[in-house]
Amino acid sequence: MVKIKNKIFQIFLEVNRKFEEYPMYGTNKILWKNYAERNGFQYIFIDYNNVEKYLGKYKQFYDELKYVWNQIDFLKYIVINQHSGIYIDLDIAPKDNNDLFKLLERDHIVGIWKDPKTNKYEVSNSIIGFPAGALDELVNYSIAEYVHKLNMEIYKIRKIRFMKHTTGVCMFKRYCKSKKIEPDIVINDYIIDYESKAWLSNFN
């Protein structure tokens, strides 16, 4: 079985606020960087200073994405698909003495959240881990959904819905459902997801 590589990726692309204006992000970045050093992971932080090196053949599509939040989500998928490892949102912190590396034996790692309306766990794209090449179909599906919905009138008004259904969590959930990837609450043994939902307050 092809394993997930012991790499941790985190991404920050400025929307309306600078990185320093998110104290939680700064704290969690340090926590994951320290975790990586202690446990033999390579820690990689992607921002505007180095994002170009990760875009490859998708650079034109990425550059044409309508919103920065589209870019952040799409970047997650192409980075993990190309390099393997674990992508982790900046509002997620490691639990003390956790053994996240044990999950590298799995064929995938997928985050979860608890829907307050249904009280059920749902798939989330806040943390994802896959072997290299495992997300070819997801990348292509996201591109197709974006192109299909780009000029629909409803999505010109409902901007957040457009983001969620083209590159975001709703699109990702449909993909996981098609691949029979179920939410796995074991991930909560290793991380704390503060679910800050920054994209709701400063969506651009």
User: Are the C-beta atoms of residues 93 and 191 closer than 8 Å to each other?
Assistant: yes
pLDDT value for 203: 52
pLDDT digits (tens, 9 = 90+) for 72-124: 999 999 999 999 999 999 999 999 767 888 888 889 999 998 888 888 899 99
Q: Which residue has 């990726």 as its token pair? A: 9
pLDDT value for 202: 54
pLDDT digits (tens, 9 = 90+) for 121-159: 999 999 999 999 999 999 999 999 999 999 999 888 888
In this prediction the pTM is 0.94
What six digits make up the tokens of 102? 């044990």
Give 23's contacts (C-beta < 8 A, 6+ positions apart).
none
pLDDT value for 115: 82
Average of per-residue pLDDT across 161-172: 95
pLDDT value for 200: 59
| Structure confidence at residue 201 as a pLDDT band (50, 70, 90) | low
Average of per-residue pLDDT across 166-189: 93
Q: Which DSSP letter does residue 95 get?
A: P
User: Are the C-beta atoms of residues 156 and 136 closer than 8 Å to each other?
Assistant: no
| Positive/negative CA dihedral, 116, 119, 123, 127 | positive
pLDDT digits (tens, 9 = 90+) for 13-44: 987 778 898 999 999 999 999 999 999 999 99
CA distance 204 to 201: 9
User: Are the C-beta atoms of residues 58 and 79 closer than 8 Å to each other?
Assistant: no
- List beta partners, residue 10: 45
Task: Classify residue 72 by burial, with Cβ atoms within 10 Å: 0-12, 13-18, 19+.
Answer: buried
pLDDT at 57 over 90: yes
Q: Which DSSP letter does residue 168 get?
A: S
State how far Cα 23 lies from the chain centre.
20
pLDDT value for 4: 95
